[in-house]
Structure 1
Amino acid sequence: MDPILPSDSGDSKQPAFLACNGRDGIVSSQRGAVLVTGLIFLVILMLLGTTAMQGTLLEERMAGNLRDETLAFQAAEAALRSGERFLEQVTLPEFNGSDGLYHHADSPAPDPVNWQDWETSGKTIDVTMDGVASEPRYVIEQLPSVPLMGEGGSAQQSGSLLNASMFCVIARGVGGNDVTMVVLQSTYRR
């Protein structure tokens, strides 16, 4: 097929067409370089997307763990305050090793971190916490009495009573799962 060229007669309404077949035209010089380049860009974009997704998932896990730790800390703090309110009673029960009440000489308090009976022993708090795997608990150990030390000494040793009773409140809080655990301790003088 021959190309149609405009005539010399000035008739410009006839279009000029060029024949382009696979053997003689420009099309035969393309070898698929655009396809290979496009595939390389797609692989690079896929790798970037995968890396970004992994970073996002890691940050989400870290945020969840921080939330779980904060929940466990709040539960332990609530148990600690509940134990201190328990000690504000007018009369206290006997500290004999039962019901989470221990005496330093007769029945010392168990190791709070490795103690396996937190779920069944100790005292539970007087309010209910949502979102925790188990209710916060506390134990109280009655410590030796501290004699009056005069004007100086620590806050535990100074005071107006001749013999002040000292107590150690140990509280344990659990977060959203059983693995996250926070143990807090305070010394209470009465």
Structure 2
Amino acid sequence: MTNQAFGVHHQQGMVLVIGLIFLLLMTVIGVTSIQTTTLDERMAGNLRDKNIAFQAAEAALREGEGWLEENGYKEDFDEEKYDLSRDLAEQWDGVDPEPIGSHDQFSDQLYADPVYHIGKPNKSQKYKGDIDSGICNLHPVVSRSVGRLETTTVVLRTYYGICDS
């Protein structure tokens, strides 16, 4: 007796091979989508961390301007303590030179409290139209904030003018 007599045919297994290839493709698509979602989540977390650090640095910058507004210009600015030139400002570690103050509103969301530094003033002429109307002391105010992670750092700099009346 032969197999053909009972209607049994020899199959080559093509359905099995096609099914396995299809399963492999679906697995690759699934793994890729999981990796993409994970990357998107990490990017969103990093963006949030940077935004919080930026807002904290901005708040510290405004607090530094407020300090200047309250304390005014001092003739006895210590050259070494207040020296934070343009080149050093972007690399300031928040420790040396010593910060003038800190802002603690964001302390539960950040790695460290944002700090600010007020530099030695530059003198500038104040003009209204063509008339010399006094001297302005332009103080560089630099703030530094670190996000939730130590690697997320934001440094901001502005100049705040205190002028003679």
Name the CA distance, whole Å, in 2 between partners of 1:175 and 1:27.
71
Residue type of the alignment partner of 1:129: S
Q: State the 1:127 CA deviation.
A: 3.2
Residues 1:166 and 2:138 aligned together = yes
Aligned pairs for 1:10-159 within 5 A:
24-89=5-70, 94-96=76-78, 102=82, 108-109=83-84, 111-118=88-95, 121-122=98-99, 123-125=101-103, 127-151=105-129
Q: State the 1:173 CA deviation.
A: 1.2
Name the CA distance, whole Å, in 2 between partners of 1:91 and 1:76.
22
Q: State the 1:26 CA deviation.
A: 3.0
Residues 86-135 of structure 1, C-alpha deviations (whole Å, 9 max, x = no match): 1111556642157xx61xxxxx2251232345388302125343211111
Conservation of the 8 A alpha-carbon contact between 2:104 and 2:113: no
* Number of residue pairs aligned between Structure 1 and Structure 2: 157
Does the residue aligned with 1:88 lie in a helix, a strand or coil? helix
Q: Where do 5+ consecutive residues of structure 2 fail to align?
A: none
* Identical columns (%): 36
TM-aligned CA distance change 1:117 to 1:23, over 3 Å = same
Conservation of the 8 A alpha-carbon contact between 2:94 and 2:115: no
Give the root-mean-square deviation of aligned CA atoms. 2.8
Which structure shows the bigger proportion of residues in strand conformation? 2
Which protein has the larger Cα radius of gyration, Structure 1 or Structure 2? 1
Name the CA distance, whole Å, in 2 between partners of 1:120 and 1:142.
12
Does the residue aligned with 1:183 lie in a helix, a strand or coil? strand
Q: TM-score, normalised by structure 2?
A: 0.79
Conservation of the 8 A alpha-carbon contact between 1:142 and 1:165: no
